[in-house]
């Protein structure tokens, strides 16, 4: 068990206070239930508005020296979605990269919990995935199958540093709550393309997000989860409230991020910095998952490169870490939903 260490305060007992105001801010730990029922500020929203603007996803990535696997279960309110991929870093290719869609409610469920008792799932013919943590369990279980992929992973939450909880106002929407957990030791296996990947020695991260979002939403994101070192940065969307680093089990906030890349040169480096100088990194892509969807009334343009981070990060005081080739992902996402 890693002792909780953070310069952030513990989360409130509830996402909304007695007057229905969101608990805006950044915290070390999990809000027990992420529900917007009873929201009264910034302004009351009708049922139709809430149904159209409520979005949620539960994402997990599991990274090792050779492979990086990721699974996302997504609920857009009017559409359910799921994607899964396994990237071979040595061969620079995807062993699987699959996307599934289905009717809302029937196909997917994103849990209203980010810790104990959480259970997010996606079910459609040919694809079935679950991401769950039983009551009083110290482990997450990630399981499922699709297109010849069989996934059975266990993630050790007891050995992870504090979870970040960030609650932010959303211009054009209402509010968003995200939880990020990093440095989770993984065990289990993935079977795909005739090979078996032993997950011992791999490290996972979790992203649980539920919010009332704007119709036009965009962000750039950088995520690193390695033994003893973690990073979560966003430019746009939640703003600097969810920008943090983890060094040696200690969670520290950092400043506003600038995440820049040349979209016309997919393999070129990304530059990632914060305005307080605590993060100065270069990200070198090795491959990327891309998805462009145009459903007339809704659209999405998305790229998530897999690669390595190089540079330095600093936490509180004199805490710092040199980052030499640690595996993670970045993302450039624009949606009209």
What is the token pair recorded at 76?
Answer: 């857009």
Confidence label for 253 from pLDDT (cuts 50, 70 and 90): very high
pLDDT of 41 over the 60 cut: yes
Residue 292: which pLDDT band, with cuts at 50, 70 and 90?
confident
The mean pLDDT of 220-238, rounded to a whole number, is: 96
pLDDT number for residue 324: 98
Mean pLDDT of 54-74: 97
pLDDT attached to residue 72: 98
In this prediction the pTM is 0.95
The reported pLDDT for the residue numbered 136 is 87
**For range 100-117, the mean pLDDT:** 94
Cis peptide before 42 (omega within 30 of 0): yes
Mean pLDDT, the chain, as a whole number?
A: 93
**Mean pLDDT across the stretch 254-268?**
94
pLDDT, residue 141, reads 98
Instruction: Compute the average pLDDT of residues 49-78.
Output: 93
d(Cα 75, Cα 64) in Å, to the nearest integer? Answer: 28
What's the pLDDT score for residue 336?
Answer: 84
Domains annotated on the chain, with CATH: 22-31+44-336 (2.40.370.10)
Mean pLDDT of 61-81: 95
Check residue 139 and give its pLDDT.
97
On the question of pLDDT at 1 being above 70, the answer is no
Q: How confident is the model at residue 317 (pLDDT cuts 50, 70, 90)?
A: confident
Q: Is the pLDDT of residue 114 over 50?
A: yes
Residue 101 scores a pLDDT above 70:
yes
pLDDT value, residue 2: 42
Nearest to 75 by CA among 59, 60, 90, 61: 59
**322 band by pLDDT with thresholds 50, 70 and 90:** very high
**Where is average pLDDT lowest: 23-27, 232-236, 278-282, 298-302?**
298-302
Q: Would you give the DSSP letter of residue 200?
A: T
Following CA atoms 157, 159, 161, 167 in sequence, which dihedral angle do they give, to the nearest 10 degrees? 0
pLDDT grade, residue 48 (50/70/90)?
Answer: confident
Over residues 67-96, the mean pLDDT reads: 96
Q: Band the pLDDT of 3: cuts 50, 70, 90.
A: very low
Residues pairing with 158 in the sheet = none
Each residue's pLDDT tens digit, 137-191? 999 999 999 999 999 999 999 999 999 999 999 998 999 999 999 999 999 999 9
- Chain centroid to CA 150: how far? 22
Max Cα–Cα distance, the chain, nearest Å = 56
For residue 215, give both structure tokens.
């119709």
Q: Does an H or E element contain 180, and which?
A: strand 175-192
């Amino acid at each position: 068990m890693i002792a909780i260490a953070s310069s952030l305060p513990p989360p409130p007992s509830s996402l909304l206070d007695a007057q229905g105001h969101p608990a805006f801010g950044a915290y070390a730990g999990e809000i027990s239930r992420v529900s917007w029922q009873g929201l009264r500020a910034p302004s009351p929203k009708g049922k139709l508005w809430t149904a159209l603007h409520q979005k949620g996803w539960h994402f997990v990535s599991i990274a090792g020296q050779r492979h990086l696997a990721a699974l996302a279960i997504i609920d857009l309110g009017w559409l359910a979605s799921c994607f899964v991929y396994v990237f071979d870093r040595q061969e620079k290719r995807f062993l699987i990269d699959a996307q599934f869609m289905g009717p809302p409610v029937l196909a997917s469920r994103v849990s209203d919990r980010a810790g104990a008792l959480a259970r997010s799932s996606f079910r459609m013919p040919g694809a079935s995935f679950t991401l769950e943590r039983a009551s009083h369990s110290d482990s997450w279980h990630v399981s499922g199958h699709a297109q010849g992929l069989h996934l059975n992973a266990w993630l050790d939450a007891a050995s992870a540093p504090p979870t970040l909880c960030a609650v932010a106002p959303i211009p054009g929407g209402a509010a968003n709550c995200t939880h990020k957990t990093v440095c989770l030791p993984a065990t289990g296996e993935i079977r795909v393309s005739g090979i078996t990947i032993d997950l011992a020695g791999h490290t996972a991260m979790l992203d649980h997000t539920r919010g009332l979002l704007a119709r036009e939403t965009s962000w750039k994101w950088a995520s690193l989860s390695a033994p003893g070192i973690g990073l979560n940065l966003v430019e746009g969307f939640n703003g600097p409230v969810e920008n943090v680093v983890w060094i040696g089990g200690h969670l520290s906030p950092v400043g506003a991020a600038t995440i820049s890349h040349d979209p016309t040169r997919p393999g070129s480096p990304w530059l990632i910095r914060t305005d307080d100088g605590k993060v100065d990194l270069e990200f070198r892509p090795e491959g990327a998952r891309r998805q462009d969807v145009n459903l007339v009334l809704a659209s999405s343009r998305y790229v998530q490169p897999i690669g390595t981070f190089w540079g330095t990060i600093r936490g509180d005081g004199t805490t710092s870490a040199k980052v030499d080739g640690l595996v993670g992902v970045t993302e450039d996402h624009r949606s009209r939903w």
